[in-house]
Structure 1
Amino acid sequence: MTNQEIEQLLRDSLSLDEVIVKSDDGSHFNIIAVGACFEGLRSVKCQQLVYGPLMEAIASNAMHAVSIKTYTPADWARDKKLLMLGQ
């Protein structure tokens, strides 16, 4: 599965403002998902929302490992600035 396919799958399944997918080897993926759908949810529930659309790809071994970070739009605006300062 390509980064673009994962991005599109998540955009089609969830109401997200931004999705960033990175992979060095095509089987281990780092995902950043930003959306109001995460407002008021515990981190485990946010992770479950993102894992849901990916379960078929994970089960078929199209994706071997996934690291997910979720943000509300306000949290992403704040943390994105901090990430840029650290570069």
Structure 2
Amino acid sequence: MSNYMTVDELLASKNLTREELELHRDLIEDCRKNEIKITEYCATTRENIERMADILDDVSGKMVALSVALEAIIGEAEDISIRMIPEHKFHRA
């Protein structure tokens, strides 16, 4: 949340009187509690995104390996199918 003012920073920038602070005490406390929750949720979200990125990297690597293996299998299958063609079906020039 470094791009945003904290509740306390915002309050300090407004130069509120003690009376104003007291008048809005409940609202200010709610805002402080919400700020703590938001900070925790942001941290959890960041951790989840990092975990998802790691998992996607792993999946991506496995997909590349799978693609390479599949290409090898396709190549082998083509070789086998060519070898299985009866000799009399080949046309020689």
Is TM more than 0.5 here?
no
Q: TM-score range by the shorter chain?
A: under 0.3
- Report the structure number with the largest CA radius of gyration: 2
- The structure with the greater share of residues assigned to strand is 1
TM-score between both structures, scaled by the size of structure 1: 0.25
TM-score by length of 2: 0.24
> Larger relative CO (CA 8 A, sep 6+): 1 or 2?
1
If each structure's helix is expressed as a fraction of its own residues, which one has the higher value? 2
